[in-house]
């Protein structure tokens, strides 16, 4: 057994390695694809959750679009918010356009107390599937089914079904307004709305398009389309269409007059301080207790 075999083998493989490396080097030079280095930089400042909330396939897709766009005002990462926009714009040396933060709101208050069950659903636990079969297990064909498609689709653990009401509740701190739940909801109940100053917001928590009588019969807290809120609103922020009121969040000045006049209580106010009379009521009950 001579060492020559080992020597030849090593020599042979080394030569082959060097030769292939040289070929690969020239091929790589020849077919090199130029990629803007700023894309990597922009991607680095993005949240990296690939939720698709911006409308592009993942954060890389958004970064490419962001770098190639002439006008960056239409591009916005809802998850990162304004901080991310500023950071990404600085990479390009541009000025970011600030956008008001948004949040998902669930426009249905039909808990079992308000909305009696008319049947028992016994099929697979999927809202999309249930909608294809029938209108829902209550009298309201527009309302929440409570089977949790929105919960399953949320990447941020920001929406949960409340066990008492059977309705989804959005976690204000976790919701990034990516919009995944909105596309998942087959009844189109969830909507993206402005988060408002200190989270204060007012919205009609109902999507029932039935006539007043029919709607009221199926759910106590349904919007009956009476139009009182439209008259009460000093800012013309409320429109009534198909027996359903809708508050335009760009026009709404959060005066809460509509909440006061709503006969069914279908307009919700969130994160407001208690009203005067209500504060007194609470105090009184505390005293009596």
Partner 1 sequence: MLKTFRKGGVHPLANKFSAKKPVEILPLPQQVTIPISQHIGAPATPVVAKGDKVLVGQVIAKSSGFVSANIHSSVSGTVESIIPALDSSGYQKSAIVISVEGDEWLPEIDREDILKKDFSLSAEAIIAKINEAGIVGLGGATFPSHVKLSVPKGKKADVLIINGVECEPYLTSDHRLMLEKGDEIMVGILLLMKALGVERALVGIENNKPDAIANLRQKASNYKGIEVHALKVKYPQGGEKQLIKALINREVPSGNLPIEVGAVVHNVGTAFAVYEAVQKNKPLVERIVTVTGKNLENATNFSVRIGTPISNLINMVGMPECTTKIVNGGPMMGKALLSPNVPVTKGTSGVILFPENDSKRPAEQPSCIRCGKCVSACPMGLEPYLLIRLSQRNMVERMEQERILDCMECGSCSFVCPANLPLLDFIRLGKTDVGAMIRARKK
Residues forming the site for partner 1 (CB under 8 A): 118-119, 122-124, 128-129, 132-136, 141, 210
- We find the least distance from the C-beta atom of residue 271 to partner 1, in angstroms, to be 35
Tokens of 155: 């990447």
> Measured from the CB of residue 122, what is the shortest distance to partner 1 in angstroms?
5
Of 121 and 272, the one with the shorter C-beta distance to partner 1 is 121
Instruction: Compare residues 120 and 288 and give the one whose CB is closer to partner 1.
Output: 120
- Alpha carbon distance 226, 240 (integer Å): 9
* Least distance (Å) between residue 211 CB and partner 1: 9
Beta carbon of residue 109, minimum distance to partner 1 (angstroms, whole number): 20
Residue 163 sits at the vertex; the CA angle it makes with 223 and 158, to the nearest 5 degrees, is 85
If the CB atoms of residues 119 and 284 are measured against partner 1, the closer one turns out to be: 119
**Shortest Å distance, C-beta 136 to partner 1:** 6
Q: How many CB atoms lie within 10 A of CB 14?
A: 10
> How far is CA 269 from each of CA 187, 216, 258, rounded to the nearest angstrom?
22, 21, 10
The number of C-alpha atoms within 13 Å of 185 and in the hemisphere containing its C-beta is 27
Q: Which is nearer to partner 1, 99 or 131 (CB)?
A: 131
Rounded to 5 degrees, φ, ψ at 229 are -65, -35
In the complex with partner 1, the residue whose CB is nearer, 68 or 242, is: 242
Nearest to 63, CA basis, from 46, 85, 81: 46
């Amino acid at each position: 057994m001579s060492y020559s075999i080992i020597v030849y083998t090593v020599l042979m493989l080394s030569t082959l390695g060097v030769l292939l490396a040289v070929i690969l080097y020239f091929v790589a030079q020849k077919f090199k694809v130029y990629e803007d280095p700023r894309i990597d930089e922009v991607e680095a400042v993005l949240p990296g959750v690939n939720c698709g909330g911006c409308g592009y396939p993942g954060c890389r897709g958004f970064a490419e679009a962001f770098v190639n766009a002439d006008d960056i005002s239409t591009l916005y990462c809802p998850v990162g918010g304004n901080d991310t926009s500023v950071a990404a714009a600085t990479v390009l040396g541009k000025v970011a356009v600030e956008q008001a933060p948004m949040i998902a709101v669930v426009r249905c208050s039909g808990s079992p107390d308000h909305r009696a069950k008319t049947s028992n659903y016994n099929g697979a636990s999927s809202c999309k599937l249930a909608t294809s079969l029938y209108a829902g297990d209550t009298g309201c064909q527009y309302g929440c089914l409570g089977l949790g498609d929105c919960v399953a689709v949320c990447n941020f653990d920001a929406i949960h079904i409340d066990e008492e009401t059977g309705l989804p509740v959005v976690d204000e701190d976790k919701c990034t307004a990516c919009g995944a739940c909105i596309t998942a909801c087959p009844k189109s109940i969830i909507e993206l709305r402005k988060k408002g100053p200190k989270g204060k917001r007012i919205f009609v928590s109902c999507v029932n398009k039935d006539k007043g009588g029919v709607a009221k019969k199926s759910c106590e807290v349904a919007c009956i389309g009476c139009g009182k809120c439209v008259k009460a609103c000093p800012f013309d922020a409320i429109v009534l269409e198909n027996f359903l009121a809708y508050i335009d969040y760009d026009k709404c000045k959060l005066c809460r007059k509509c909440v006061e006049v709503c006969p069914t209580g279908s307009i919700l106010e969130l994160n407001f301080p208690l009203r005067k009379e209500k504060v007194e009521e609470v105090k009184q009950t505390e005293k009596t207790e």
